[in-house]
């Protein structure tokens, strides 16, 4: 695959990791969607903590120069050579219009051999496990999550949330229990444990947080597989307002 330029709407910002080539640098991965409605996994987009955090957010439109990665055989993956924030964030309804045609089930994604997908869950329950309230420094917290991704269950995240759900509309779905790795969720956790050290109190606040937003929002899971183990993870959440009107006005995208 030659170098290509793509315009990508950011759906998920992954948890930052230390750069293996640059000792002082960090890199972040992105799951985005292009103008053809294709989900893509993009990595690495570099930054340094001393120079501020990542220069883009969810829903931002990026121009990326990409090529095929050397070691990642997942067909949706791209190696990022450079990126520019076009400073034209998409509105929630525009993101929803892009996502809706992609909604499927984990069962169908497995049959297709996909490693990215969008699922509308029927939530059965969720489980919150607070392992530690000591790591509320941003870099330390992200490093612990990076350890979890690299070592799996041998390395616990400070706070873990798992959803029990069925894929809506999928008769073959017998239910799933999958961990959430959403950046915004982890920022919420950090803010809570910065002020609250008691484990039970942290769990209660997180339960209230999720219960409240599930009443007010629609919920879609942005799913991705683990690079090493191939298991499914909830890499991000898309939570538009319930009963929001959908309009087709995607200018230039």
Q: Can you tell me which residue has the tokens 């948890």? A: 15
- Name the H helices within 21-114: 92-99, 106-112
Interval 13-27 mean pLDDT: 65
Write the pLDDT tens digit of every residue in 80-125: 999 999 999 999 999 999 999 999 999 999 999 999 999 999 999 9
**Closest to 39 measured CA to CA, from 251, 223, 238:** 223
For 180, the token pair is 């959430």
Q: Which fold has domain 4-92?
A: OB fold (Dihydrolipoamide Acetyltransferase, E2P) (2.40.50)
Name the phi and psi angles at 15, rounded to 5. -70, 130
The yes-or-no verdict on residue 221 having pLDDT over 60 is yes
- The count of other CB atoms within 10 Å of the CB of residue 15 is 20
Of the pLDDT bands very low, low, confident and very high (cuts 50, 70, 90), residue 133 is confident
| pTM for this prediction | 0.85
- Residue ranges of the chain that CATH labels 2.40.50.140: 4-92
């Amino acid at each position: 695959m030659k170098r290509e330029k793509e315009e990508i709407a950011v759906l998920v910002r992954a948890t930052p990791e230390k750069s293996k080539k640059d000792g002082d640098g960090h890199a972040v991965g992105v799951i985005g969607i292009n103008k053809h409605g294709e989900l893509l996994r993009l990595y690495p987009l570099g930054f340094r903590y001393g120079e501020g955090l990542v220069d883009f957010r969810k829903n931002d439109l990026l121009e990326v120069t990409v090529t095929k990665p050397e070691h990642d055989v997942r067909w949706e993956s791209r190696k990022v050579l450079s990126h520019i924030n076009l400073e034209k964030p998409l509105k929630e309804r525009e993101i929803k219009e892009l996502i809706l045609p992609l909604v499927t089930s984990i069962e169908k994604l497995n049959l297709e051999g996909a490693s990215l997908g969008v699922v509308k869950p029927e939530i059965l329950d969720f489980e919150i496990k607070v392992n530690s309230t000591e790591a509320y420094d941003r870099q330390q917290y992200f490093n612990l999550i990076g350890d979890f991704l690299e070592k799996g269950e041998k390395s616990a995240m400070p706070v873990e949330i798992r959803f029990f759900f069925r894929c809506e509309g999928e008769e073959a779905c017998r239910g799933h229990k999958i961990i959430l790795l959403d950046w915004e969720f982890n920022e919420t956790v950090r803010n809570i444990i910065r002020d609250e050290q008691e484990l039970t109190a942290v769990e209660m606040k997180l339960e209230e947080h999720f219960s409240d937003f599930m009443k007010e929002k629609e919920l879609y899971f942005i799913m991705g597989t683990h690079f090493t183990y191939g298991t499914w993870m909830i890499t991000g959440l898309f939570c538009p307002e319930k009963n929001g009107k959908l309009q087709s006005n995607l200018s230039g995208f």
